[in-house]
Structure 1
C-alpha cells in the first residue's frame, strides 16, 4: 500500500508538468517512475556475508573463549580418504577450508566431553544444514560430543554459533581456489587472513601443519564472536616457515 502511494506521488507532479508546453511527455514521466524502481529493489537484496554475521549470537557458559578450527580439507582427504569415499572428500565436493570445530577454551586448558541434558546424537535434519561448512555427520556428531557439550548451549544454539563464527571470518581470496600444489610461507598465510579480516591480530591466529602440509588455521573469538588474542593457541603454531597446500579438487 505504501509503495503504491509512493508511485502516485512520483507520477502526480509529472502529470502536472505535462500541462505545460515545455514539460515532459507522459512517456517521459513513466520512464521517470521506472528509474525509481531499482533503488526500491536494492533495499531487499540479500545482505553481504559480513552484514549477516553481525547478528547477536547465543552466549555460552562454563568457559572463557572459543577457537574456530578450520581444516584444509585437501590435506585431510589426502591422508585419510584418498579414494574419496566420504562426502567431504568426494571428487565433486571441491572443499578448501571447512570447519573442523568450534572449541570452548579456558585461559588454561580446555573442557571436553561435558555432561549435558542434550542428546549425544545430532538429528540429521540439523546436521545437514551445516554440510556446506562441515560436510560430514560423523564430524558434526563428534564435535558436538567433545566440544559443543561444553558450551552450555543446546545443540541448535551451539551450531548457530558455529555458523556465525564461520560467517564472521573472511577467507582470503588467494586461498579460495588452489588448482595445483602450492608452497606458501606460514607468515604469508597469517598475513592474508589479517588483511581480509580487520580487527584480527597476529596473536589471535595460529597456523598448524601436518608434516610439511597445511593442516589447520585456528582463530580465537570472545563468546560474542569478536576477535581476541590467545597466546596459548598461537604458541602451538607450526614451527615450519612454509607449508604445502594440496590443491582443491
Structure 2
C-alpha cells in the first residue's frame, strides 16, 4: 500500500510539473553568520540564538538540494514530517526548532530522505566544515572584502577550490558561506546560479556577542 501511495504522489507531481523528491544534482550547505542575522532580523524577534549566552557564530541555515540551474522546493513527499523533538534536537546548530522545521518543509522534503535521515545528513555536512577560528577572535566590528572570508575558509579546509564556495552579503554585511557538496557530501563545483560572490570591498563583519 505504501508503495502505491508513493506512486500516486510521484505521478501527480510529474503531471503537475512539480519538483520530485530525490531528483537533484547536488547540495548547497548554507551557513549564516549569526551576528548578521541577529542585527537584521533576530534581535527584533528576540531570538534565542542572538542572546550573548548563545555564543553563536556560523549557524546552519540549511542543506539545500540543487539543480545545476535552479533548485527544487516544497516537494510532495510521503515521508512523515519531523516531530517536535527532532526539530528541537537541531536547534544547537540551526538556532531554533522553527528554523529546523522550515528547512525540512522547503528543502528537506526534496532530498528524498526521511526527516531523521535529512537532519542527520545536514548535521554531518555541517560538522565536516572547519569553520575558521579567526572569526571567533574578533572583538569589534571590521570592514573587509568578502574574498577575505572566502580565503579563510579555503585555508581551513584543504581540498576545497574557489568554485566550490561562495560568500554572500546582505545590506552591506557578510551574510553567509555556501559550500557545494555532492550527495555523498564531497565538495564539488557550484552551478552558475550559486557562485555569485559578494562584490563588496568593505562588508561589515560583526563579532560574536
Report the TM-score when normalising by structure 2.
Answer: 0.85
> Residue 93 of structure 2 corresponds to which residue in structure 1?
133
Tell me the equivalent position of 1:158.
Answer: 118
Q: Is the 8 A contact 1:214 1:243 kept in 2?
A: yes
* Residue equivalent to 1:148: 108
**Are 1:100 and 2:53 an aligned pair?**
no
**Which residue is 2:18 aligned to?**
none
Asked if the contact 2:69–2:191 (Cα under 8 Å) also holds between the matched residues in 1, the reply is no
Q: Looking at both structures, which has the greater relative contact order when contacts are Cα pairs under 8 Å and sequence separation is at least 6?
A: 2
How many residue pairs align between the two structures? 189
Partner of 1:33: none
Deviation per residue, 1:196-246 (Å, 9 max, x gap): 111111001111101210111100000000000014145322121231111
1:217 aligned residue: 177
Decide which moves more: 109-118 or 239-248: 239-248
Q: Structure 2 residue aligned with 1:170, among 120, 130, 148? A: 130
Residue number in structure 1 paired with 2:24: 63
Q: Distance in 2 between matches of 1:106 and 1:157?
A: 21
Q: Give the aligned CA root-mean-square deviation in angstroms.
A: 1.6
Q: How does 1:1-249 map to 2 (within 5 A)?
A: 61-82=22-43, 85-120=46-81, 122-249=82-209
Q: Is the 8 A contact 1:204 1:234 kept in 2?
A: no
Structure-2 change in CA distance of 1:199 and 1:233 (3 Å): farther
Partner of 2:8: none
Gaps of 5+ in 1: 1-59
Q: Does the CA-based 8 Å contact 2:136-2:207 persist in structure 1?
A: no
How far apart, in 2, do the equivalents of 1:96 and 1:84 lie?
Answer: 18
Q: How far is the alpha carbon of 1:143 from its aligned partner?
A: 0.4
Q: Is the contact between residue 206 and residue 233 of structure 1 (CA under 8 Å) also seen in structure 2?
A: no
Contact 1:84 1:91 in 2 (8 A): no
Please state whether the residue corresponding to 2:48 is helix, strand or coil.
coil
Misfit runs of 4+, over 4 Å: none
Indicate how the Cα distance of structure 1 residues 198 and 157 shifts in structure 2: closer, same or farther if over 3 A, else same: same
Bigger Rg, which one: 1
